[in-house]
Structures are given as C-alpha cells and as structure tokens.
Chain A
Amino acid sequence: MCGIAGILQATPEIQGLESVLAGFQRALRHRGPDDAGLWISPSQNIGLAHTRLAILDLSPSGHQPMISQDGRYAICFNGEIYNYHALRSWLIDRGHVFESHSDTEVLLHLYAEEGERMVERLRGMFAFCLWDEAEQTALLARDPLGIKPLYVHEARGRLAFASELRALTRSGLFKPSLDVQAVRGFFETGTVPEPLTLVHEVRMLEAGHTLVWRADGAKRRSFWRLEFGREFAGDPVQQTREALLDSVRHHFVSDVPVGVFLSGGIDSTALLALAGETGHRGVGSFSITVDDPAADEGAVARRTAQYFGSDHHEMRLDAEVARALFREFLKHTDQPSIDGLNTFTVSALARQHGMKVVLSGLGGDELFGGYSSFTKIPQMLRLHPLMSRLPGLPTLLQHGRPQHRRLADYLRGPGDVPAAFSALRGIFSQQEAAALTAWLADSSDRTDGPDLTDQADPRDHVSALEMTRYMRNQLLRDSDVMSMAHGLELRVPLVDRVLVEKVAAIPARQRLLPNKGLLTAAVSELPEWVVNQKKRGFLFPYQQWLGGTWGGAFAEACAGAPVPTQLWYQKWSVFMLKHSLEVLGLRS
C-alpha cells in the first residue's frame, strides 16, 4: 500500500522531470512513510515515483519503482495482491526466477508472461503503472471494484497519474479548472461521481479498467463487470460461508499484524468471527464510542470483542475531541465527501496501537442487502405510476422537507431504479443542486451518471448502484484517503472480486434477505445481540454536533446559499466543497 505517480510523454518535453517527480513524492509522502523512490527511463520521457508503506517483504528488495532483472519493465504499484503466492509458484513453474518475496515483482513477471490480460488473474486491490521499455508501452490498471484510486491527466500526448488528486493539481503540469458537472454531481449525491473529479483536466481511471498508453494515443478497456445470477442449484449458505472464509484467509496475507475495525454491527463482527475460524485469534479490534446513546455502538462492540477474545481498544469521542480531529481531517481531504471522519478517527486509533493493516466490514450492506434502499426502492417503483399521476403532488412536495423535494424529482422523472436511488440517497434535489452549482461555479451544466445495465430484478439493480456509486464514490474513496492519511492499510474482505462473483451468482431472492439473512446464516458464530440489534450505521451524531459547538464555521459557509440547508449533511457538503475548492486551487 503506497502512493504512486508518474509522467508518460512521447518526447522528453518537461524540463526538470526529476523535480516534478520529487514533487509528487512530497505530495504522497503520508501514504508511504517507509521508503520512497523514483525512476526515469533512459530516453528521459517516462518517470515513475513511489512512496512505500511496507506490508509484504519488508526488506529493501521490495523497493519501488521496481525494475525487472533484464531492465525491460518498470512498475510503480499501490495495493496488495492477495493471491500472489499462487501466481508466484505458477510463474516459477514456467521458469521465472524471483529476486524478492514481494507481490510487486510478481506483477512484473506476470506481465512478461500474459501482457495486458494479466489483470484478469489478480485478486486484490490495485492501481499501478507498468512501463515496457522494449514496446514503449505503459499499462495502467485499477482493481475491479475500485478500492484503490488512480487519477489521470491527459493532454497533448502526455499523461500524468497519481494516487491522489492534489498531487496532480500541485504539480504545475497544468492549470486546474473547476468541473461544473462534478460540482453538481457532488451536490446531488454527496460525492463526486466517478470518473469525474472536481478538476476538469483530471479523470479517475474507472474501476475494472486498463489504460494502455503509447506515444500515439491511449486506449481504455473494461476487464470486469458485475453480473448477478438468476438460478442457483447449490446451497447458498454453504457457498457464501466458503467464499467468506476464503476471502478472509486471503486478506490476512501480511508480514505485519492485522487488526479489525469493530463497529458492533454484523459485517465487522462477521470478520472477527471468521478471522478466528481461519486461525487468527489475537487480532486487535478498534472501536469509536460517541456521546450519543442513539448512535453509540461501543457497548455492543466491547461485548463482542470479549466474546471473541480480541485485543480491544476504543476511543471516546465527544463534540470537542471530534472538532480537534476534524481540523486534521480537513488537511487530508482530497476530494470532498459527506463522510470519512469516522474512518479517519478509527485509523488514528489503530495506528496509535502500532497497526499497519486493518480489516473493515465495508461492503456487506451492498452485497447482502443491508440498506433500507433494498426495500424502499421496490416500493417507490410500485408507487410511481399512481403517485406521478396525482395532479399537483410534485408541486406540493416541492414545498416540503428536503427528502420530499427529492421525492418530487423522482415523481417528475421516468420512475426507474437510478432515479429512485438518487431521490433516496441524494443530498439536494436537482433544482437545488443546479442552484448551488451556479452559486459556486457560475454555471449549471447537467451531469449523467455512469452507465449501468438494467437488471431483471430491481433489487439487483439497487445492489449494483450501491456498489458502483455509494460504495465506490464515497465509502471506498474516503477509506483510502483517510486510512492512508495515517499510513494505515485498510483492507475490505467483503469487497473481494472472487467473493462478489460467488455471492452475486446467488439470485436476489436468496441473497438479499431481510437483515442480511444470508450473511448471518453463513456466519453462524454471530451472537444474537449483534444479529438482532437495530441498525445504526457507523455514524457520528453530526446533527447534534453541527447544531452545537461546531455550528459557526458551517453556518458561515452556508451563508447566502440560494437554497435551504437545514440538514447536517447539506451544511457539511457546502462546507466541504468550499474547502476543496481552496485546497485544489480552484477558488476564483
């Protein structure tokens, strides 16, 4: 897990390439405190930079950018390849000789063997750039579910990339300008929808895509797509349990101890239970407790930790402590989001206790149907034909609460799953988002979301949207930035390609059961007090905090806004966007 960046150019146009790469390293230093390196090709047109957090093969032979023994290939890589042992053995059988025990070297050899198709064999989270000096070709790739980010800037035959947006905007390679579509997307959803970024000149390489770059152009290709099963002959519980154990086992591949973020909910408890089942009993578990009884999961997490015998640590957070952390959090924010402080806080706690790798239960709700969207959206689809025909109802709703205004949008629209999803998961209504965009960006362009194939079962479509929008654009992006802010590697065993493929093969009627019934049946170790508790989510009492001592800065940010901002996440989104505009040098 690391920070990567680089420049690919047809001819060595950039003066002082080394100092640009050194600038990348400085911008990404927090992601990899253990080591740093840079590499420039003999013809001075290609440069790769790397900052390293050492997790596998702690010796200097894991240094990056890594160059193949024959000098033909160079790579900078961010992530972990969990099946690298198996790939390494396969490559050794085919005559490859290895100098290190790192997964990075496996990528070099695998590329030599398989070319671009190598990505289809990887199990893990990854973003990398691999340069082939003989073919004068670069392969950039990002993992299927979008766990690791990769930002790309292309202009005039030149390509620059980095793990964080800020590294590119501060490079001086281009003058960043605001992407108004991204701003509007942010106000509608609470996050900048991939592949857009707040910066018009930079795009995210889409999840599950490769980009092959040559001096004469770049070509993108999708190498994985999410598919849901319609018929399944086996035992869903057994298939799920085997897939879960397999994923957890793979996610423990590490040369340093691995911990677990324990929220007290089903997903993280399932990880703790399965860790014990795979022979990892002494893991550290980390929880945040808050001063709001309705949101606090501390007591449940404590009881669960005691039950499974984990080495439990917790941090008590009140409005004042959280406010101090929030200042630090702002320094590390890359793209704006309405979440992330919880991951930032619990990452700080884990790092204080010496952890370098932690597992998170992120992804369980998306895969096993834990969100209310799985029941509410089918209801909304059924009601749309009737409610959209009631004269005056949308206008009436338009004058109601924020949620009602988004429902009005839905009733005016086609009544499909994406529209229902936007209404349910949204932050502002479309009109409000347009007005806020015009206020801050002096424009009001319309954005289109990423294309998603319609699924036969609307719940599958909800699952696809949860995974490709909320989880990818918000949860995973925040998790990456906020854990790396502390030099901590966050792993997500429930967002594993192989697990997702095996579980998604089970039809929705058996997979998306109330209260994540398939997951709880597959992990029979889950105690009753975890399974039957009321869902709380992993959320701090922001409405209370922003209504109290935190209020000033947020009220100031929202002063003069053209639309009402009553709810905490509306205030938060305006504040965060303004902050990001400043950090990214986009403030006019």
Chain B
Amino acid sequence: MTKSDFTPNEMMTIAASRALRNEDVCFVGIGAPSAACNIARLTHAPDITLIYESGTIGTAPDVLPLSIGDGELCDTALTTVPVPEMFRYWLQGGRITIGFLGAAQIDRFGNINTTVVGDYARPKVRLPGGGGAPEIASSSQEVYITLAQSKRAMVEKIDFYTSFGHGEGGDHRKRLGIDTKGPTLLITDLAVWKPDPETKEFTVVSLHPGATREMVQETCGWTVKFAEALDQTPPPTELELATLRDLKARTDRAHKGA
C-alpha cells in the first residue's frame, strides 16, 4: 500500500478523525461522523468519549454500527442511559465538547438541512428529519460537520433550517441567545474549512492531496472563499489508512450477516 493510494472519501474520514482530541466528549452523528470518530479512537485518541444518542456513553464498537442503537454500542459502552437523560443531562447539561454531524444539505454558514428537499408541506423528497441534530447543533460546545462535496449538497440556500449553524452569519447565534460556538470545522472529501472569525462564512484553509481550488469550486453551490495561507492536508499515514480499511472490512462482513 503506497501513501498516495487512497480515495477522497478515505481522506475525508481521516482528516475528520484528526480534529478530535483524546479529551473530547463527542456526540456522534450517524454515517460519516461515526467512521471518523472511531478512527480517532483507534489511532491517536484512545480515551476519547464517544456518545451515541441511543444513550450509550463511552462506547468502543469493534465494527461501525449500522444504526445509532446497535447492540455493539451498548456492549462496549461504559454505561447506557435512557434517551431523555441523554438529551437532558448530557447534551442540554453542556457536557458535550464536540457534536459531530453529517448533512444532506449545507450552506456557507454551516446551517444544515436533513428535513426536506423542496417545500415542507409538499416536498420533492421527504428526508428523515432532524432527530437529535437541532439540539446537538445548539447545545454542544462546538460542532464539526463532515460531508462529501457536491452541488446538490453544498447549496447557496438550504430548503429547510433543520439545525442552526451561524444563520445569516456574523453574530446571528448570539442574537438568538445561543451561547455555544456552533460549527467550527467542516471536513469534506476535498478540503478542510473553517469559519471566518467575523462573517462566520466557511473558508477553505487546507486542500487535501490531489484536490485543487477548481475542484472545490466545481462541487460547491456558492462562490468559495479560500484562506490567504492555504495549507495542504497531510496524506493519510499507513496506520490511519490500515485502521480505516480494517474497520470498514469488519463492518461490511458484520452487516451482511456473514
């Protein structure tokens, strides 16, 4: 396996995993965040606390759960609490350092739509809805978001504000009485983005190996801002890549019931 032999999706998961610290208490959204959080735990952050909304606290699954409530999560957790307690004491109580979310649609201010495409009353596509995300977005100390870039997903205007990011930018969160930081990091399959300190618009700060400014712009529905000092994301290490591929292989076998 050579270091350059990796997919953009693998780079996305690994770049997202690097953002997490050993001390974090992370509320894990299903899908892409779940893979990133577990790669962090299996590489540089072995003591990270992963929490899933089914009530499992400090879980360490051997395979990625298909749902947020697979038995694996409970079997390997420090403790499992009822769902109301999860949302009241642990999330609303301010114990979560990072809420890690995916998104069907996102705008430049990190507002997320997972509810509908089109009109709410008469949608073109009825998506699953918010689940835990509306309060994860407002009660976690910070929010990280990860998704693969496409013009369908990264849009000028989202169809529905499922989870509030920075609203219209600037101090919009503060004006609504939300005192948490909101989205502070966006990791895509092409780049790492951070909000501008003033406007809160997500700005590309680091391009993944092989990604260009043009590729980022072509797969994004708004005019992308790039940082003046643009970094390059270090490629996956052999350990990171091997850990991710082993985890995916174990997970595929388990979900097919083999």
Asked if A pairs with B, the answer is: no
